Amino acid sequence: MPPKWRSSHEISPPGHDAGILEIVSPATILVDALESLRADPDSSAVLLDIDGTLAPIVRHAADAQVPESTRALLIEISKRYRLVACISGRRAATARQIVAIGSIAYVGNHGGELLRPGATRPELDPDVEAWSERVREFALRVYTPELQRSRVRSEDKDAIAAFHWRGAPDERAATLLAQGVAERAEQEGFAVHWGRKVLEVRPPVALDKGLGVGALLAGAHNGDGSAIRCAVYVGDDTTDLDAFRSLRALVQAGTLERAVCVAVSSEETPPELAEEADLIVDGQSGVRGLLEALL
C-alpha cells in the first residue's frame, strides 16, 4: 500500500530525519497525492460518495444537500476529467437530485443501479430488481407502531429497505428495535447491512459499491477504445471499503495503473476506513480542498 498522506498534518518529507518535522501545506500534499490524475485527466476517473463526503450528514436523510461551493467545483471537474461519478447507497435518481448535476454518472443502491449522464432512467441489476417487491412487502410488514413511536424512519429504496434512527429521542432503544428487524430479515432470507444509525434490508445477492465501481469503469472508454488508467475514490463509511478494495484489485490485475483511496474524517469515521486509505481529508472542507487540487 502507498504511504498514507494526511492533508492537515505535519509530515517528514523524503530524505529528512524522521524526527525533524516540516510543515507542508495541505494543498501541496493533495496536489502531490493526486498528480497521476492531474497529469492525465482524459484517462482518469473521479468517484465520490455523497452523504458525509459531498454533503454533510443530517438528521433526516431527505434534508441532505451538497453545498453550492462544492457543487461548483464538481461541475468544473466534470468538464475536465474523463469520468466523474457519485457512488451512493441511495437510489440513483435521489442521488442526482441531491447533487443536482445531470452531466455526471450515478451508481445507486450500493451498485444495484447505474444512471448514466443525461439518462432519465437508471439501469437496474436484474438479480437485485427481482427482489424489489419482496423487500418492500417485508418493510411494510415490520414497520410497526412501536418502531414509529421510537422515531425509527423507514425509507423505500426499491430493492433495499432502510431504517434510520439518527436523532431519535432514545437512539439506544431504537437500535435494539432495529436489531429485532434485522433478526427477522435474516430469518426470512434477506441480507442485512448496518451503517451509521441505519439498518438496510437487502436482497441476498452480491451488492456493494465495489461491484458498482468495477462495472462503471469497465464500461468507460474513449472514442479510441482506451480505458481509464487512474482513479480516485472518496468516501466516509464502511460501505466505501468495498470501493477501495475494488480499485486496488483492478490495480493488481493491471486494469488500472493507479488508484487513490481517500477517507473523509469525522467523529463517526470507521477506524478501518482510515487504516485502508491512502489519503485522509478533514470533513467536507477537506473534500472541497481535494476537488480544488484536482483542478
Topology of domain 5-124+207-294, per CATH? Rossmann fold (3.40.50)
Copy the grid coordinates of residue 133: 417487491
Q: What is the mean pLDDT of residues 139-163?
A: 93
Query: Which pLDDT value is given to residue 124?
Result: 87
Q: Which residue ranges does the chain devote to CATH 3.30.70.1020? A: 127-202
pLDDT digits (tens, 9 = 90+) for 209-218: 999 999 999 8
pLDDT digits (tens, 9 = 90+) for 153-205: 999 888 889 999 999 999 999 999 999 999 999 999 999 999 889 999 999 98
C-alpha torsion 28→72→241→255, nearest 10 = -80
pLDDT digits (tens, 9 = 90+) for 87-100: 999 899 999 999 99
Domain 127-202: CATH superfamily is Trehalose-6-phosphate phosphatase related protein; domain 2 (3.30.70.1020)
Residue 228 DSSP class? P
The answer to whether residue 8 scores a pLDDT higher than 70 is no
Q: Which of 11-15, 144-148, 190-194, 289-293 has the lowest mean pLDDT?
A: 11-15
Measured CA to CA, the distance from residue 265 to residue 272 in angstroms comes to 12
Measured CA to CA, the distance from residue 101 to residue 122 in angstroms comes to 15
Q: Which residue ranges does the chain devote to CATH 3.40.50.1000? A: 5-124+207-294
Residue 234 C-beta-side C-alpha neighbours within 13 Å: 30
Query: Which pLDDT value is given to residue 1?
Result: 44
222 band by pLDDT with thresholds 50, 70 and 90: low
